[in-house]
Amino acid sequence: MVDWSVMLVFVPTFFLVSITPGMCMTLALTMGMSFGLRRTFWMMWGELAGVGLVSLAAVIGVAAVMLNHPMLFLWLKYLGGAYLVYLGTQMWRSKGRLAIPESIDQALGLARFDLAMQGFMTAIANPKGWAFMVSLLPPFIDVHLPLAPQLAILLAIILFIEFSSLVLYATGGRSLRHFLQQKGKVQGLNRVAGGLMMGVGVWLAVG
């Protein structure tokens, strides 16, 4: 049995999380500029596998943390929020690995498997993904209902929304190629993305 009213709240909540610029969306944007949408799909399959694994681990692990160590869970939220603020600050300054590059002319000659693995590893190593999953998923799990049906529906929603966001970023990437090659505009986009990430970090910490 699943509480569908909870799922209706989860959909817009996770959509806002997924569409927020981060490592995976920046990767999709950059690859969309370099390779086009069709080739970027291979990266997306790997990224979705990684997101599914992170979601599953977050739910199973955090459920135990919530029951046995509620204060530890609270500190995880604070640390996750603080890290997102740090990443946002780096992006605002056009520094760090998340910052959108000024030049994207040189496309990487990667095989399909390499593209998928890059997407998978980016999702697994994405601190934003872990912070969001750890903070957002547990409140939508009803401990009085069977876990498996709830988790299956949450994962299906997560993967569908994540895939839609990746496609949106990759599709926009090609048309933004010339726009992003202008230094001032790249810096402006980094500041917008960095500001969004800092705001989400504060929301995670105090929410």
pTM: 0.65
* Residue 152 to residues 12, 48, 147, 185, Cα–Cα distance (Å): 18, 15, 9, 41
Work out the number of other CB atoms within 10 angstroms of the CB of residue 166.
Answer: 28
Beta carbons of 104 and 177 less than 8 angstroms apart? yes
HSE of 61 in the Cβ direction (CA atoms, 13 Å)? Answer: 14
pLDDT at 101: 57
**Binning pLDDT at 50, 70 and 90, where does residue 37 land?**
confident
Beta carbons of 62 and 73 less than 8 angstroms apart? yes
- Rounded to whole angstroms, how far apart are CA atoms 31 and 100? 11
Percent of the chain with pLDDT over 90: 12
17 or 177, which is more confident? 17
Q: What is the pLDDT of residues 127-183, one digit of tens each?
A: 667 777 877 777 777 777 787 888 888 899 999 999 999 999 888 876 766 666 555
**Binning pLDDT at 50, 70 and 90, where does residue 106 land?**
very low
pLDDT surpasses 60 at 107: no
pLDDT at 179: 65
Compute the average pLDDT of residues 60-78.
Answer: 66
Of 82-96, 122-136, 183-197, give the lowest mean pLDDT range: 183-197
Sign of the four-CA dihedral 195, 196, 201, 206: positive
Sign of the four-CA dihedral 71, 74, 80, 83: negative
